[in-house]
Structures are given as structure tokens and as C-alpha cells.
């Protein structure tokens, strides 16, 4: 009899979601036993119950203290963006050109355009993502950044700017082992100045980061975006939950992946941040495609793979 251990992290998902999934698994496959354990658990009382049977551990985010007793472990991991881009390019997924900002780097505006995006290799939620004149991009040593800036801990990248329209727009697709749980479209609050073309940043106040709290989030059933996000998961087989950020060039219509967020902080159906977004925008991520039902089926599939 296969076992599934679901690792729970408060504020990042509701316990009730895991309980609903566990109950659905029990109803569909009584031969599969599901356990829920806190990510900080250090002395799990039920470890003996999984000491003999095939067992998998699923943790959308990196596990903090819990030590799975046996079997394959699928957990979030924060792969650097440059590594993500390399893997995605290898399977033919379009990502904007990028380069690490090194001490000897000089970018040519003829190749990169007048503006590029400067972003941290290990940043989250659009933090410290800036637009900058190409010829002004220069390396800064880690010691030159303020404390807690991502640049103080890792590399900074320069990336080709994708123009998504007068106001910045991106899509976020959460996939569990390659199957879509939800897809939203996020457009920056129109109180920001519009960007009339891809090269008109001179007026000030324009932002290229769309996923702000004041942004407008709407459910999206864009088949091209969803298919691309599901393909992204091919290169992250051991990361259960991805939150792929995808943009569409306003002039060419081409889709680009900005990152896959393999760390797994994407259970927005019931995370604290997810609740805020859904409430503010009157959307329901759980009901869009039936996220918990999809999660149930994918976890059953993974458990049976382990049993084989």
C-alpha cells in the first residue's frame, strides 16, 4: 500500500486544502494512505506507519525541519534564474536573452536595445527588478548593496525587455507535476503612467513589474499560455509546484517565460497572499479549473508510480 506524506506550511496553504485532498484520495483509492505533517515537525509520531510501504513526500516549498522517513522526496527548490533559462532553452521554450552582470560587462544598445531589465538571480515577487538604460548597466560588488538586497547575496542579471503594452501585464500559471491548477492575468494599476512604446521610459514613474498588490487580477483561460506553462514543468520533475510567469510581446504576440518559481510559493488558492488577491479582485482560484480535484488526481498518479 503506497503512502503520501504532504508537508504543510502555515500561511502558504490552508490545512483544509490538504484535508480535502487527503479525503478525496481515500475515497478514490482506499489503498493509498495520506499523512499531513508540519514542515517544522522534528519528532513525527507516525513515522513507523510508513516504515515498510512505498512512500513519497510532497512539499510545494522547501522543507524546513521535517525529515521524511523514506522514499522519494519532491520539494520546492530555488534554482537560480540563469539555470532555469538554460534548461528552458534546451527544450525550446522562449526566454528573453539574459546575461550575468560581471565586472567586465559592457552591453551594446545595438544588440540589447536602449533599455534592459536588471534583476536578481535569486529574487522573488518582482523584488528589485528595474529598467535601466543599456549603456549604464555596470557591475556592483555584493558589498555595495544594502543589507537584504538580493544583489548582496547573489548575481544580478541583465535581460532583454519584453514590451507587453501600455501597462505591464503578465500571466501566472500554477502547475502541479505539469498539470495546471489555475491561471491568472495580472495588469498593473492604471494609476501608473502608461508606457506608450517599448522605448519611452524618459517620463519617470513607469513600472515594468505588474504583480503589485494594487494590480488587477483576472482569471485567464488562455490555451497558449497554459500549454507553455505545462511544458515548463518538463525541466523540473522533482519540484512539485511551479508558478510560471509568462508575458506576451505586445507587438509580435510571442510568449516568453520570465521564471518558473520552482521554490513553490504558488499555492495561491489558500495562502495568505492568495486570499488577499482573490478577495480584492473577486476571483476564486480553487474553482477556476477544479484545483483540488486536479491535485488529488496528480498525487494519486505519483503515489502509484512509486508503488511500481
Q: pLDDT at position 76, please? A: 98
CATH number of the domain residue 150 falls in: 3.30.1490
Q: pLDDT at position 288, please? A: 98
Question: In which domain, by residue range, is 23 found?
Answer: 3-76+290-307
Q: pLDDT at position 282, please? A: 98
Looking at the structure, tell me whether residues 248 and 171 fall in a common domain: yes
pTM for the full model? 0.94
Specify the number of domains making up the chain: 3
Q: pLDDT at position 205, please? A: 56
Looking at the structure, tell me whether residues 111 and 259 fall in a common domain: no
User: Which of 145, 161, 177 delimits the end of a domain?
Assistant: 161
CATH number of the domain residue 46 falls in: 3.40.50
Looking at the structure, tell me whether residues 152 and 192 fall in a common domain: no
Residue 276 lies in a domain: no
Q: What are phi and psi of 155, to 5 degrees?
A: -70, 160
Q: pLDDT at position 206, please? A: 65
User: Which of 117, 137, 161 delimits the end of a domain?
Assistant: 161
Looking at the structure, tell me whether residues 88 and 105 fall in a common domain: no
Task: Give tens-digit pLDDT for 22-60.
Answer: 999 999 999 999 999 999 999 999 988 887 889 999 999
Task: Give tens-digit pLDDT for 112-157.
Answer: 999 999 999 987 665 678 889 999 999 988 877 777 777 767 889 9
Looking at the structure, tell me whether residues 230 and 198 fall in a common domain: yes
Task: Give tens-digit pLDDT for 181-239.
Answer: 999 999 999 988 888 888 877 655 566 777 777 899 999 999 999 999 999 999 999 99
Compute CA distances 204 → 149, 181, 193, 198, 292, whole Å.
23, 37, 8, 14, 43
User: Which of 228, 248, 263 delimits the end of a domain?
Assistant: 263
Task: Give tens-digit pLDDT for 195-211.
Answer: 888 887 765 556 677 77
Distance CA 215, CA 283 (A): 13
Residue 61 lies in a domain: yes
Q: pLDDT at position 124, please? A: 64
CATH number of the domain residue 166 falls in: 3.30.470.20
Looking at the structure, tell me whether residues 249 and 182 fall in a common domain: yes
Answer whether residue 77 shows pLDDT above 70.
Answer: yes
End-to-end CA distance of the chain: 11
Task: Give tens-digit pLDDT for 246-274.
Answer: 999 999 999 999 999 999 999 999 999 99
More confident residue, 159 or 142: 159
Residue 282 lies in a domain: no
Distance CA 128, CA 209 (A): 10
Compute CA distances 264 → 21, 145, 232, 239, whole Å.
18, 27, 14, 7
Residue 248 lies in a domain: yes
Answer whether residue 7 shows pLDDT above 80.
Answer: yes
Q: pLDDT at position 122, please? A: 85
Looking at the structure, tell me whether residues 19 and 68 fall in a common domain: yes
Task: Give tens-digit pLDDT for 91-104.
Answer: 999 999 999 999 99
Residue 285 lies in a domain: no
Amino acid at each position: 500500500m503506497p503512502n503520501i506524506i504532504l508537508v504543510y506550511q502555515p500561511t502558504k496553504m490552508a490545512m483544509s486544502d490538504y484535508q480535502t485532498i487527503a479525503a478525496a484520495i481515500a475515497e478514490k483509492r482506499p489503498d493509498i494512505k495520506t499523512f499531513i505533517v508540519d514542515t517544522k515537525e522534528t519528532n513525527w509520531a507516525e513515522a513507523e506507519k510508513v516504515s515498510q510501504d512505498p512512500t513519497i513526500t510532497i512539499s510545494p516549498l522547501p522543507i524546513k525541519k521535517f525529515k521524511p522517513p523514506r522514499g522519494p522526496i519532491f520539494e520546492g527548490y530555488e534554482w537560480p534564474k540563469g539555470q532555469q533559462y538554460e534548461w528552458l532553452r534546451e527544450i525550446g521554450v522562449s526566454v528573453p536573452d539574459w546575461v550575468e552582470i560581471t565586472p567586465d560587462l559592457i552591453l551594446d544598445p545595438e544588440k540589447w536595445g536602449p533599455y534592459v531589465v536588471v534583476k536578481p538571480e535569486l529574487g522573488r515577487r518582482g523584488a528589485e527588478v528595474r529598467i535601466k538604460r543599456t549603456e549604464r548597466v555596470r557591475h556592483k560588488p555584493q558589498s555595495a548593496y544594502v543589507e537584504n538586497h538580493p544583489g548582496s547575496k547573489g548575481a544580478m542579471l541583465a535581460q532583454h525587455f519584453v514590451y507587453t503594452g501600455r501597462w505591464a501585464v503578465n500571466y501566472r500559471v500554477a502547475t502541479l507535476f505539469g498539470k495546471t491548477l489555475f491561471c491568472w492575468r495580472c495588469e498593473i494599476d492604471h494609476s501608473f503612467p502608461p508606457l506608450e512604446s517599448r522605448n519611452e521610459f524618459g517620463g519617470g514613474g513607469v513600472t515594468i513589474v505588474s504583480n503589485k498588490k494594487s494590480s488587477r487580477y483576472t482569471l485567464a483561460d488562455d490555451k497558449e499560455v497554459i500549454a507553455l506553462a505545462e511544458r515548463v514543468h518538463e525541466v523540473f520533475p522533482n519540484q512539485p509546484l511551479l508558478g510560471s510567469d509568462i508575458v506576451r510581446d505586445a507587438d509580435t504576440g510571442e510568449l516568453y517565460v520570465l521564471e518558473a518559481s520552482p521554490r513553490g510559493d504558488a499555492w495561491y488558492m489558500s495562502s495568505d497572499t492568495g486570499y488577499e488577491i482573490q478577495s480584492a479582485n473577486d476571483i476564486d482560484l480553487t474553482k477556476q479549473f477544479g484545483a483540488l480535484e486536479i491535485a488529488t488526481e496528480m498525487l494519486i498518479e505519483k503515489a502509484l508510480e512509486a508503488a511500481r
